[in-house]
Amino acid sequence: MALLIAVNGWDSESWATRFSALLPDHDIRRHPETTGELSDIRYLLGWKTDPELVAALPNLEVIFSLGAGVDHLLKNPDLPDVPMVRIVDPDLTMRMSEWVILQVLLHHRKDRLYRAQQADHLWKGADVPSANAVRVGILGQGVLGADAARKLALLGYQVAGWSRTPKSVEGVVSFSGEDGLNTMLRRTDILVNLLPLTPATTGLIDYDLLSKLSSDGQRHPDCDAPILINAGRGGSQVEDDILRALDDGTLAACSLDVFENEPLTATSPFWDHPRVSLTPHIAADSDPQALSVYVAERIRAYEAGEGLINVVDRTAGY
């Protein structure tokens, strides 16, 4: 059984070394250094893989997506009709929740203000609302969204979640559908996007959506809001609209880990915008060893006849 590693932007050699140790009885190959017959390959570990390469594997049985999203695969019109497995790893989930919580706290506790005051040698406190006065809304109640929502609720925040279809998360007020989305937005001070990229979510975060965020008297007077936090997919946001919302006060600030085009160009206005915090798509940058173990375990289970888990629903897009 051959496993092909085709991961653009990653060090394929280190991945091959890990899999050679975890699956010593398998033929581990790397693209583009691959030798041997493509017909031998049964498994593909892919990230932004060349579509022509994927289509050229006649006996491919399972595709493993390196990363939480699968949009990089689904946009391939010649994608073989084989199961695609998402990476659902406790380490990845925890790291995403850590990043989301960090960003929520930085905005809630006015970190940008204090960094500016430090630069000016200014010793001055600011009024900060308690966590239970801050309303956080999370777009997406899958594995990542649900975990972040539960952890934020434990910190005392008023947490709501939205999903395409109804879901229930302990300690979280749940909304679904278009009407539910509008209702959640109206009661949201800090909006967190963890949705996958699908045709329905492409360009979802536009000026119209941002304009629906909390602007009523229920907001705590010391809460800097609304805030946007996006660690889902860059394709879900309309970046010109975000900049417009920041400049006209529709948004107080934002934290962005993903962008429409990556890496971010040197001339992007996001770099120097005074109310933008950005990170280079590292929110859920998980431990490569943990991801390798996950994939190896799924391959062993599949070959033992136990079937696959976390298989992508192509119709839904995740």
* pLDDT (0 to 100) of residue 70: 83
Q: Is residue 33 part of a domain?
A: yes
Burial 175-195 (b: 16+ CB within 10 A, else e): bbeeebbebbbebbbbbbbbb
What's the pLDDT score for residue 217? Answer: 61
pLDDT of residue 311: 95
Quick check: is 84 in a domain?
Answer: yes
Strands, E assignment, the chain = 2-7, 27-30, 41-47, 62-65, 84-85, 135-139, 158-163, 173-176, 190-193, 227-230, 253-256, 276-278
Residue 142 lies in a domain: yes
pLDDT at 17: 95
**What is the reported pLDDT for 9?**
76
121 is known as an active-site residue: no
Mean pLDDT for all residues in the chain: 94
Same-domain check for residues 251 and 103: yes
Residue of 26, 31, 164, 281 with catalytic role: 281
Which tokens in the block code for residue 132? 């239970």
Q: Kindly state whether residue 316 falls inside one of the protein's structural domains.
A: no
**CA 198 to CA 202: how far, in whole Å?**
6
Q: Is residue 318 part of a domain?
A: no
With pLDDT > 90 as the criterion, what percentage of the chain qualifies?
A: 81
Alpha-carbon Rg for the chain in angstroms: 21
Q: Lowest-pLDDT range, 17-21, 31-35, 144-148, 237-241?
A: 31-35
Whether residue 244 contacts residue 209, with contact meaning beta carbons closer than 8 Å, is answered with: no
106 has pLDDT over 90: yes
* DSSP-assigned beta bridge partners for residue 47: 7
pLDDT greater than 80 at residue 218: no
In a domain, 251, yes or no: yes
Same domain membership, residue 99 and residue 9: no
pLDDT tens for residues 238-291?
999 999 999 999 999 999 999 999 999 999 999 999 999 999 999 998 788 989
State residue 36's pLDDT score: 87
Active site residue: 233, 275, 300, 314, which one? 233
Average pLDDT for residues 207-213, to the nearest whole number?
98
Condensed to tens digits (0 to 9), the pLDDT of residues 124-141 reads 999 999 999 999 999 999
Q: Which structural domain, as residue segments, surrounds residue 173?
A: 92-278
Q: What is the pLDDT of residues 66-85, one digit of tens each?
A: 876 788 788 888 899 999 99
User: How confident is the model over 288-310, as a mean pLDDT?
Assistant: 94
Residue 170: give its domain's CATH number: 3.40.50.720
164 noted as active-site residue: no
The answer to whether residue 308 is domain-embedded is no
With a cut of 90, say whether residue 168 has pLDDT above it. yes
Give yes or no for residue 109 having a pLDDT over 80. yes
Query: Is there a single domain that holds both residue 44 and residue 98?
Result: no
